[in-house]
Each structure stands twice: as structure tokens, then as C-alpha cells.
Structure 1
Amino acid sequence: MISHACPIIVLDDVRKELLEVAHGLGVCGLPVMSHLVNEGTLERVPSRPYTGIRLLVTDLHLLGPTQTKKEQYIGALISFTKQLVSPSTYLVVFWSNYAEEAAEAWAYLSTRIDPALKPFGYEVLPKDIASAAANGDVEAIKNIQSAIDAIIKKYPQLQAVMEWEASVSRSAAETTNELVRTITQGGATFENQDHVKKVMARMAQEALGYPHAPASPTKGIVQALLPIAQDCLEREASNGYLDAFLEIPNAEKIGLPNNDLVPLLNDFFIHSANSDVSPLDRGAVIRLSEVYLNDKEAGLSRDVGPTDVAGDWRETVCREFAHSWNATTKENQDVIKKALDGKNIYAVELSADCDYAQNKPRAQRFLFALFVSSDAPKPFFSNGKGGANESIYVTPEIHIEKIRGRLLVSCRIFFTKPHGSAPDGKSITRLRKDVIDEISHQYSSHMRRPGKIAFY
């Protein structure tokens, strides 16, 4: 039986039956969040819908025995779901002795609920099994455990994500335990809130840097505890709780079900599209404004362009990112330049981590970047050659604002702005730390090239 971390919602309009159902699931080791439906409304509504619901166990007739039409009680269930569940992947379990009626209810529910809130499937659990379990009947408890276990095991993918979430919850708890043990071993006490506050506040300062901690101490303590949590997660992983589900037989690469998953998975690991990204954040990807691109006196061409481009940002882009630009005919150059979209011109913030932590006055450094759509990569990207020159860092296929393509980052063309300033534009996303560290390494390696001796 899974000891799951996220709450399992239970709905019923009869208090006695709700308590029986909740207790019956509780003896299975499942954390239950019970909600009574009283005269057609939820007796208790959470301040915000629950995140990460995996099972929604509900009575069919939530409006009482007189409301027997599915249009009524399923309509009510849809309304309750909006109040209780944030968009999640979950299974609805109808707590009913009437399987046929449950099938009709599912058919009606699945076509009318918001797709973002739609369960991925349904199961039926006999209602009378809970009463006996709630009364302490040992055999009934075994029966309900077996019934719940059978439902979860019917969907191994559901069981796998529930196991993962349970391991993360245990790791978080163990991280807290280690923190408290450390505080105690150091001569402080958990009973003294001032001791705990000072230790955690100092950890936040060390993680973010003293100047930045006052603005976001919670972010600081999270960053400070992440390495400990990672150690705990790795200890959990050593148990191999997902080995049987993953079934990796050998070293051969496993194909993905669909090629569309490639950029979506890369989005997962390459960048984070947080809405609160500042253009001064390390790794921020800034779409340069049309005004900045076309400003011949103080725009892109002045900041990074050769002296002979005369404010032509398209020429600046093509000279750095287009393959064999100098060998391209003037006629083809004009066609390529005309096709360039200013919405694909970016800057990537690349200030040093130490500068950020110390908050010392220094110039903000930005690398020149171009986003190339997968539908029309040439002449900027070639599967065989990659970028136009070895200084260009090319991401795998990702999405930027739902467009599939690659971000090309020049590691030899950069421009600077005064401390606390950024080029005119809008922050769209932020490259993850591992990616920006890799770009930083490529940038520093390329900048050392004048001192490199090599023969080819």
C-alpha cells in the first residue's frame, strides 16, 4: 500500500457515510481530505484548490436521494471539482454499489468537465465496504486495502508518480530532521524560536548573499536546503522504488512515443518560463524591443555591431549567425535579411554569480542571441554543422512562447550596461543554472583564444 503525500479528496452528502469512507481509506494509510456536501454546497471550501490530487473518491448522488438525474448530480460534482482541484492528473473513484450507473455518470462527466480538470479515468468501489472497515472489522479492513491497492496497481503510471511524490515528501521531512539535528548538535535548541530563526536566516544570507537576502529570505532558505534535500532524495532512490516500472533492460536509447515530446522535454530542463523573471537575473532571456533594434544612435548596432553596418541590425545578426554570409550573393543576403523577424532577437544576461551575490557595482553583461524556428532554420542553423561559428552555443529544440526552435547564443559578441540596467526589451524566460554555467564556460573559453596555440 502506498503512503502517499498528497491528499485524497472524499466527497459525500451524508456525514456518517463520509466519516466511514474517510476512516476506511485512512486505515489503508492514505491521507484523506474529506468534504461534506450540505444542501447542494460544500460545507468547507479551501482557500485555493488542492495541488497534486491523484484520487477523488466521491459518492454519486451528492445532492441527496431525490436528485437522481445524472445531469444534476454530475453537474454538482463538476462545480465542486472546480473549487477543490487545481489542474492535476487524477483518477475519479465513484463510491457506489451500482457500476452501470457509474459508467453513465463517467460518460456524462468526461464530455462536460473542463479538459484541464478532467480525470484520466474512473473506477468503482463498493460503498458498503467502508462501513465494515470503519467499524474495525479486520477482514473488512483487509478487503478495502486490497480494493484500493488493486485500483492503484491497475494504473502503474499512477502508482509510479504517487511513489515519486511520497519519496519527495519523505525527503523533505528528513531534510527538516537533519536541520534540527544540526541545530541541536551546535548547542542551540528547537524549542527556542529565536535560535531556529537566526540559524535559518543566516543560511538564507549565505545562500543568496547578504545584500539580497532581505528581499527574498524564503528563496534563500530553500536554496540553502536544496543540497540536503538532494542527498535525501538520492538515498530514497537507492531503494529502487521505480525500477520495476521503468524497465530499462540495457544501454540502448529508448525511443520517445512522439517526436513532439523532444522540445517539450527540453523546455523542462533548459529554461524556466517564470512570469517574474527580471532582465537583471542571471540567465534571463530578453527579447529586444523594436525601438532598441532600430535606434541607430543608441541601439543594438551601436552596442554590438561592426562600425560599418550603419545601424542595420539585420546585417549585424547575419554577420554573426548566418552560415557563409560573406560568400552569399548580395541578392540572397537581401532576401535573408528581409525575412528576419525582430521578435527573434534576444540578449542573455551573463553576469558572474559572485558579482550577483556580493551586489558589487559592476557592468551588467549580456550575450547576443537569435531564436531560430525549426520550420525555417537555414541559413542560421544546420543539423550537420550547428551554428555558423564555434563561438555559438546552440540549445536543443525548445519552445519560446509556443514556437519550436533553437536559441543560438554568441559567446564572442557581448555588450554591457551600467549596473542595474538592461537593454530595452522584455524578459521572456530564464535559462536554468546548468545551462547558463555551460554557456559561461564556452564564453570564457572563447575569450581566452588569443592566448591559445593550436595547429590543425
Structure 2
Amino acid sequence: MIEPDIKIIAVDNDSSELTRIVKTFNKLRISCFPIEYNIGDEIEEKYSNVRIAFFDINLGLGNPSDSDLCNIISSALKEIIDRNNGPYALIFWSKHTAKVNLIKKYINEREKENIPSPLIVETIDKALVIDDEKFLIEIKRILSNSTLEAMFDYQEKVKKAAAKTINSIFSLIPNDTDKWGEHEAFEKNFDLVFSKMASNTLGRELAVKKPNLAIQRTLFPILLYNIQKESLSNIWEYKMKALKKEDVLKFPTNFNINILNSIYHIHYDSSLTKDERGIIIKMNMNTKHFTSVFGKKKDSFFRDFFDFKKANKGQTEEEFETMIKTFLNKIEPVFVEISAACDYAQQNNRACKYLFGIKYPISSNVTLRKSDYTFPTPIFAIENVNFQIIFNFRFVFGYSITNGVLGQIKFKLSDDLVNQIGNRYANYTSRIGIISH
């Protein structure tokens, strides 16, 4: 089924005004989805990934008071635009554009957490844009905003790259015996071509088990190549002025790089299984079992990874020890699956290889000890909790996926990060030890 791809919406209680907006965008060969909306209407499904939203200021209530007007607009925004919409421009299209500052103040004070904040807020005064030509000029003015242009530029280039990827493969599928308008030979060969490509990419056993993943991996190199071929507009050079100034080239103080790390390297969906390469699984071991495997009790073993410092000069030894124990109690032992990529791809019969690690919260009073037998991940952030995982190359286990030691699936690390871990582990295990007499 084709998913809706609505990037621009127009919201008004007057259908004739909506028609006018849509026709103006049509002149630019750009789609705009009209939403006829009156106060109190319920939207069946909120709109997501909208990049431009035109909103009338009033939506059909005669001459409301300022407080009523602010409530009407904030309610409409909540009802129509999904909270996790992403970046967008909000354009107030109305004869009441003087009320925009009141609306912004109202939302900031009462609804800030419930309505996605627009990157751009603009106005078009209906009273001043009477003829279509002036309206077209105003639309072009809105679209020329550099931030908006950059957003659309990359998004559209990726769509073009995806279309080229599909076209390049489909053009190779034989359909010699089909007459114009027929597709029997094409359908049969479609099956053969994509099935064989999926098998070659991921290995037949794994491709049978995960056909969607196989096709994604099959098409990704072609898609990436086509994305790289698509030249971005010069707007990106204009927007990245700090790139040329080394002294200011750093993330803003309120930018959470840990969330960015999570976007790059942490993936989760309900289909993940315990034999997947890169899967992070909580370890289930009672105290006695842990001690027999690792030679120490948990607290003592975990302490060896860290250096601790007092929170302040006045902190007593008892308070300091309590702080350490509190930190240690928050540590979660985990495994990461690091089987050879070829074994995983071919779904060879094997005991999965699990590398031991600990997932711990970030604390300003705790420093990670560096060593050649450990691998620390970047710092991640999930649900406002900053954490890191450190893997220990001295403890690698072979388990079947039904072993009770393997607990809850947490998430999956990116292939890039798992490859780094595997490479470091291989280097560690291949070191030559020298004994002299």
C-alpha cells in the first residue's frame, strides 16, 4: 500500500480559501493538502512529518475574544499536527495576523509541551493579498526561507535517489515475452531477480528468515551511491558558516550529543531476536553464579572498572561509600552478540558468541579506567538517561539463544559499532605474549 506523503497542509474553515491556496501551489507544481476544519472538529489521525502548515486564525467563530482565539488556535494545532512531527514552518494565513504574538505567548505559557514548536513562524495577511499574483509572490517568499529550503533540499534529493534506485533495478528485469500492458513474465522475473539478490546479499538462510532486511541490505549500496550523486543545493554552504571558523566549530552548550550518538548507533524494534549480531541482552545471573563465573562478587568486580572521587570536600567517608554503592547498584550487566558476520549471514549452526559488558549511568564523580582489554561505547541517551557500555574482552561466552542466562533484549547496536568492537576484540586476542627467563 502506498503511504500518504503530505509535506504541506492548509487548514481553514472556508473551502474557497483552501481552494485558493491549493491552486497557487499547483502553479508551482507543488502539492498542498487542504483540511477543512471548524472549531471542535476531531481529526481521525494526526498529521506527521509536515514541513509547512498554513493555518487560518479564527476557524469559524465570528469575532472571539483574544483568550478564546488563542485557545481555538492552540487546540487546532494540537488536534491536527502530531507532537513528534519534526521541523516545520507555521504560516498564519488570516485577516487577524496582528494576533500572532498573543498566540505565541499563550502557547509558550500553557501548551508548549503539547504542540511541536515550529522553526519558522510567518504571516500572510489575507486583506493585503487580494489577487492571485500577489498571493503567489507571498508563497514564493515563504519557500525561499533558507532553513526551509535546506530541509526540503535534502529530503527531496533522498526521494530522487530512492526513485533512481528502483528504476535502475526494474529496468534490468526481463519482460521479453510480455506484450505492451501485460506483465506475467515481468512478475515471474521480479520474484527471481529480487529473491536471488536477497540471497546473495544476506545468505539464503537469513534471507528466508528476514526477507525485508535482506532487500534493505540489497538495495542500500545502490541507494547510498545515488544519494551521493545527488548534488545538494548551495544553501547548505550558506547555512554552515561555522564550518569555516575553527574557533567556533563546536556543538552548542544545550545540544545533547548523547542523543545524536543514540540515533547513529542504537536501533530497536519488536522483531529483534537474541541471535542477531549486535544485539544487547540483559544478563540473568544470581550472585552465586556470577561469582563462580567472574571470580568476584558483582560490586567488587564492577569497582575494578572505575575510579571514584568525592562529590565535595565535606563529604565523609561513609557518605562517599554510600555514593559508590548507589552507583554500583545502578549498573546493569549485559551481553552483545559478536559472531562472525559470515556465520550470522549464512545462519550457520553455532553457539552464539556473547561478549560481556556493563551498562552504567554517567556520573560526574565516576571516571572510567582505560585498558587494552575493554571497549567503551560512545555515551548514549534514552528517555533522558545518559549511559555508556563498556565491554570486557576477557569474558566471552558461547550460549544457545534458549539459555536462561540471556535475559531481556534491550536494543541492537549499529553494524558500524559492532564491527569496531569485533575488530578490537580480534586485535586483543591475537596479541603475542612473551615470557622471558
1:94–1:123 Cα contact (<8 Å) kept:
yes
1:207–1:220 Cα contact (<8 Å) kept:
yes
Counterpart check, 1:122 vs 2:110 = no
Give the equivalent residue in structure 2 for 1:313. Answer: 298
Instruction: Quote the offset at 1:241 in angstroms.
Output: 5.0
2:57–2:96 Cα contact (<8 Å) kept:
no
**Which consecutive unaligned segments of at least 5 residues does structure 1 have?**
134-139, 325-330
Cα gap change, 1:287/1:104 in structure 2, threshold over 3 Å: closer, same or farther? same
Q: Distance in 1 between matches of 2:372 and 2:176?
A: 51
Counterpart check, 1:37 vs 2:41 = no
Instruction: Quote the offset at 1:124 in angstroms.
Output: 0.8
Q: Distance in 2 between matches of 1:51 and 1:19?
A: 22
CA distances 1:205-254 after superposition (whole Å, capped 9, x unpaired):
44443233344433322222111111111111465552221132267781
Instruction: Quote the offset at 1:150 in angstroms.
Output: 2.7
CA distances 1:336-379 after superposition (whole Å, capped 9, x unpaired):
67852264322212122222222222111111112344315646
Q: How does 1:7-406 map to 2 (within 5 A)?
A: 7-37=7-37, 40-41=40-41, 45=43, 48-64=45-61, 66=62, 68-72=64-68, 74-86=70-82, 87-88=84-85, 89-113=87-111, 115-120=113-118, 121-127=120-126, 132-133=131-132, 140=133, 143-154=134-145, 156-184=146-174, 191=183, 192-237=186-231, 240-247=234-241, 248-249=243-244, 254-258=249-253, 260-274=255-269, 277-289=272-284, 292-294=285-287, 296=288, 299-303=289-293, 305-306=294-295, 309=296, 312-318=297-303, 321-322=305-306, 340-341=328-329, 343-376=331-364, 378=366, 381-382=368-369, 387=370, 389-399=371-381, 402-406=384-388
Q: Distance in 1 between matches of 2:208 and 2:127?
A: 56
Instruction: State how many pairs are aligned.
Output: 414
Instruction: Quote the offset at 1:32 in angstroms.
Output: 0.9
Q: Residue 429 of structure 2: which of 447, 453, 456 is its match?
A: 447
1:28–1:144 Cα contact (<8 Å) kept:
no
Instruction: Quote the offset at 1:259 in angstroms.
Output: 6.2
Q: Distance in 1 between matches of 2:178 and 2:222?
A: 20
Q: Distance in 2 between matches of 1:449 and 1:215?
A: 37
Cα gap change, 1:19/1:237 in structure 2, threshold over 3 Å: closer, same or farther? same
1:293–1:342 Cα contact (<8 Å) kept:
no
Report SS of the residue matched to 2:252.
coil
Identity of aligned residues (%): 20
Q: Distance in 1 between matches of 2:326 and 2:123?
A: 61
Instruction: Quote the offset at 1:313 in angstroms.
Output: 3.0
2:353–2:396 Cα contact (<8 Å) kept:
yes
Give the equivalent residue in structure 2 for 1:328. Answer: none
Cα gap change, 1:199/1:36 in structure 2, threshold over 3 Å: closer, same or farther? farther
1:12–1:37 Cα contact (<8 Å) kept:
yes
Give the equivalent residue in structure 2 for 1:136. Answer: none
Cα gap change, 1:250/1:37 in structure 2, threshold over 3 Å: closer, same or farther? closer
Q: Distance in 1 between matches of 2:226 and 2:6?
A: 19
Q: Distance in 2 between matches of 1:178 and 1:186?
A: 17
Q: Tell me the amino acid that sits aligned with residue 374 of structure 1.
A: I
Q: Distance in 2 between matches of 1:397 and 1:211?
A: 35
Cα gap change, 1:20/1:239 in structure 2, threshold over 3 Å: closer, same or farther? closer
Cα gap change, 1:416/1:431 in structure 2, threshold over 3 Å: closer, same or farther? same
Instruction: Quote the offset at 1:29 in angstroms.
Output: 3.7
CA distances 1:16-73 after superposition (whole Å, capped 9, x unpaired):
221111111232343211111267526xx45x43331121101112125x36345555
CA distances 1:386-436 after superposition (whole Å, capped 9, x unpaired):
x2x202112233235533243211123211212554733322232111010
Report SS of the residue matched to 1:375.
coil
1:55–1:93 Cα contact (<8 Å) kept:
yes
**Which consecutive unaligned segments of at least 5 residues does structure 2 have?**
309-317
Q: Distance in 1 between matches of 2:353 and 2:248?
A: 39
2:356–2:395 Cα contact (<8 Å) kept:
yes
TM-score by length of 2: 0.81
Cα gap change, 1:127/1:216 in structure 2, threshold over 3 Å: closer, same or farther? farther
Give the equivalent residue in structure 1 for 2:314. Answer: none
Cα gap change, 1:263/1:227 in structure 2, threshold over 3 Å: closer, same or farther? same
Q: Distance in 2 between matches of 1:402 and 1:110?
A: 22
Cα gap change, 1:401/1:38 in structure 2, threshold over 3 Å: closer, same or farther? closer
2:52–2:88 Cα contact (<8 Å) kept:
yes
Cα gap change, 1:129/1:260 in structure 2, threshold over 3 Å: closer, same or farther? closer
Report SS of the residue matched to 1:279.
coil
The CA RMSD measured in Å over matched residues stands at: 3.6
Cα gap change, 1:342/1:112 in structure 2, threshold over 3 Å: closer, same or farther? closer
Cα gap change, 1:249/1:239 in structure 2, threshold over 3 Å: closer, same or farther? same
Report SS of the residue matched to 1:183.
coil
